Amino acid sequence: MIAERLLKAMNDQVKNELESYYIYLSMAAYFHDMSLDGMAHWMRCQAHEEMNHAMKFFDHILDRGGKVILQDLAQLKIEWASPAEAFQDAYNHEQFISGKIDELITIAREEKEYASEPILSWFLDEQVEEEATSSKISAELEMIGEDKSALLMLDRELGTRTFPAGSSLDPSAYNE
Ligand code: FEO
């Protein structure tokens, strides 16, 4: 049975991951609105990953005999001044999430909840990757500045990210 303190923190993390899903979907809408469909596609792929993250915690709570309690989601932001600002926000958000994973690991260790260490370790690795990716794109956008043709090239590159098969965020999956 999962310790009460960790259960509360994991339920909070389900909310954090669902808010991540929500903010990346919001960024996808922003990029579609700007006709930067490659960046919108990248954000839709990222939103898909965040829903998976939320469900990993959701299922882990159940597997450990806990009760999942869903919470209200905040609409974190809907507009950005530029693509660079949106990706900088993505990087900031991933740093915030990494801090939450660190807190979960601290609680799990204090509560001697060793059965939760493998999943938290998976999230540690995942956060290293997510911070690195969003930081790199953010830095590239800073270099691009006002160069529209370089922006379109990056948009095309980000449009090549692949969806996991059958993702509900992939228009080609539900338009068949
Ligand atoms: Fe699930 Fe991007 O943190």
Rounded CA-CA distance 90/174 in Å is 27
Q: What is the pLDDT of residues 95-143, one digit of tens each?
A: 999 999 999 999 999 999 999 999 999 999 999 999 999 999 999 999 9
The angle formed by the CA atoms of residues 150, 156 and 157, to the nearest 5 degrees, is 90
Q: Which CATH number fits domain 4-161: 2.40.40.20, 1.10.10.10, 1.20.1260.10, 3.30.420.40?
A: 1.20.1260.10
100: left (phi over 0), alpha (psi -120 to 50) or beta: alpha
131 C-beta closer than 6 A to ligand 1? no
**Domain chopping of the chain, boundaries:** 4-161
CA of 100 to the centre of ligand 1 (A): 10
Q: Report pLDDT for 171.
A: 86
93 C-beta closer than 6 A to ligand 1? no
CA of 149 to the centre of ligand 1 (A): 30
- Classify residue 112 by its DSSP letter: T
Does pLDDT of 176 surpass 90? no
Rounded CA-CA distance 17/71 in Å is 11
Q: Report pLDDT for 167.
A: 85
Q: Report pLDDT for 173.
A: 81
Output the residue whose Cα is nearest ligand 1's atom 2.
94
CA of 173 to the centre of ligand 1 (A): 23
Output the residue whose Cα is nearest ligand 1's atom 1.
50
